[in-house]
Amino acid sequence: MAKLSSATQRPIPVNYTKGGQTSVRGVVVHIMAGTLAGTDSWFRNSRAQASSHFGTGKTGALYQWVDTADRAWAQASGNSTWLSVENEGQGGDTLTDAQMNCIAEVLAWAHKVYDVPLQVASSPSGKGLGYHAMGGSAWGGHTSCPGSKIVAQLPQIVARAQRLVAGQSIEEDPLAGMTKQDIYNAVWKTDAIPAPSTSSTIKTNPTWEAVSVLSDIANRVRSTEATVTAQSATIKTLAQALADRGDPVDVDALMKRITDAIESVTVRLDVDEK
């Protein structure tokens, strides 16, 4: 018996050949033209005359209907030498990320159990991860199964299976292959941050690079600091003038009260903005 432990076991009572799997060249990808639940039900109907070893749902469910020691009825003359995986969806669909992960699990498992090479197959004489249409008329003539969009995803699935076999995360490292300069450019040189509403060029340049935003902020802070410094000097001059007239003014105390008032307003503004 050969069962994938991570798959939900949904054994069917009909539509397969007991002990009929003579060898395993690889895994064949199909499209259901329906739902996982509907296919699960159909495979249990003797009129279907069809089955598959595995099936995936769009949200990541993985079923195993047929033990891989037995022959599923999925790709005619390719049944006895290839495992099969049906995928929820319609012709023209792409596989969801979750479905790609499920197929990668099946392929990685087939590699460990049957020594299936982690590569894309393009004909029945090859080995690896194949697709229904590659078998032509001998495999039932299903030339649109699973569709060109899914066939284009097969290399990504193989890459995920390779990472699983290597004990790595199934998801590709988004920083893989990037240099420090690449990362710097992605963070600081990407023109995607909304420009300040006060920008004079907002209509023609609505988005800025991060470095431009920081530069603008720095300029505004310097301008504000200069303004505050000038205002403080003016207030101190006025307070001193009042003191020179003989009015009972404590210049230092007045400056502290003004400074505390400014800081209080600043704190309230910060809280309100949050």
Average pLDDT of span 118-139: 97
Is residue 269 assigned to a domain? yes
Residues 135 and 208 occupy one common structural domain: no
Length of the chain: 274
167: left (phi over 0), alpha (psi -120 to 50) or beta: left
Domain span at 229: 193-273
Is residue 177 assigned to a domain? no
Residues 245 and 109 occupy one common structural domain: no
Residue 102 sits in a domain whose CATH number is 3.40.80.10
Q: Above 60 in pLDDT, residue 58? A: yes
Q: Above 90 in pLDDT, residue 136? A: yes
Is residue 221 assigned to a domain? yes
Lowest mean pLDDT among 7-21, 200-214, 245-259: 245-259
Residue 272's pLDDT is 44
Lowest mean pLDDT among 141-145, 156-160, 233-237, 247-251: 247-251
Residues 22 and 118 occupy one common structural domain: yes
Contacts of 256 (CB under 8 A, 6+ apart): none
pLDDT tens readout for residues 177-230:
778 888 888 888 888 889 888 888 888 888 988 888 888 888 888 888 888 887
Residue 269's pLDDT is 43
The reported pTM is 0.66
Is residue 48 assigned to a domain? yes
| Mean pLDDT value across the chain | 89
Contacts of 38 (CB under 8 A, 6+ apart): 32
**Cα separation, 21 vs 190, whole angstroms:** 54
Residues 115 and 157 occupy one common structural domain: yes
pLDDT tens readout for residues 20-50:
999 999 999 999 999 999 999 999 999 999 9
Q: Are strands 193-194 and 207-208 parallel, antiparallel or unpaired?
A: antiparallel
Give the ranges where 9-96 is alpha helix by DSSP (H): 36-42
Q: Above 80 in pLDDT, residue 240? A: no
Is residue 65 assigned to a domain? yes
Residues 151 and 98 occupy one common structural domain: yes
Final residue before a domain boundary, out of 146, 165, 184: 165
**Cα separation, 78 vs 68, whole angstroms:** 14
Which CA distances in Å does 274 have to 221, 261, 264, 268, 270? 19, 20, 16, 10, 6
pLDDT tens readout for residues 139-176:
999 999 999 999 999 999 999 999 999 998 887 666 66
Q: Which amino acid is at 256?
A: K
Lowest mean pLDDT among 8-12, 197-201, 243-247: 243-247
Contacts of 249 (CB under 8 A, 6+ apart): 239, 242, 243
Residue 171's pLDDT is 72
Residues 93 and 216 occupy one common structural domain: no
Residues 50 and 114 occupy one common structural domain: yes
Residue 40's pLDDT is 98
Is residue 187 assigned to a domain? no
Residues 160 and 204 occupy one common structural domain: no
Is residue 136 assigned to a domain? yes
Residues 221 and 105 occupy one common structural domain: no
Residues 19 and 143 occupy one common structural domain: yes
Residues 17 and 146 occupy one common structural domain: yes
Number of structural domains in the chain: 2
Is residue 172 assigned to a domain? no
Q: Above 60 in pLDDT, residue 247? A: yes
Q: Which amino acid is at 58?
A: K
